Amino acid sequence: MAIGVGDPLPSVQLTKLTPDGREPIDTADYFKGRRVALFAVPGAYTPTCSAKHLPGFVEKADALKAKGIDEIACTAVNDPFVLDAWAKANDAQGVTMLADGNADFATALGLDMDGTKFGMGRRSQRYAMIVDDGKVESLHVEEPGEFRVSSADHLLETL
């Protein structure tokens, strides 16, 4: 069963790459006491993720922060090195990359998907959510193959 509005995020370890190397991030601590716009992509460097999803959040970062968002974070079932390279390739300053290398977070949320028929293994569904002090304030999950409700523009309209 998928997570829903009002539910607390599960405590799962993600990874962030810093100048000092990999840094484990416990989701319970990371989301505590602030309002975060979190979006998930099926994979770094994939077409829609690179052409639309990530660039939209980079472009709208200031507008989201003006609406009370403290941080913008992206998660994907990739390793932290791939996410860091993808962020650099897209000049994604202002977006924190949180690697979910084993799909533990996506699975704990109930928002994982089976991409094996595309050679991608377990992945995250495409979604965007607002997390306020560790609880889901809003959640927008895409239908397979769609890109509408998880966009930065749509998230801004809902704030």
DSSP 106: H
* Active-site choice (12, 17, 40, 49): 49
C-alpha count within 13 angstroms, C-beta hemisphere, residue 26: 4
Whether residue 109 contacts residue 89, with contact meaning beta carbons closer than 8 Å, is answered with: no
Read off the tokens for 144.
């397979």
Q: List, as one string, the DSSP characters of 43-96.
A: -TT-HHIIIIIHHHHHHTHHHHHHTT--EEEEEESS-HHHHHHHHHHTT-TTEE
| C-alpha of 29 from chain center | 16
Q: Is 74 a catalytic residue?
A: no
CA distance 130 to 90: 23
Please list the active-site residues.
49
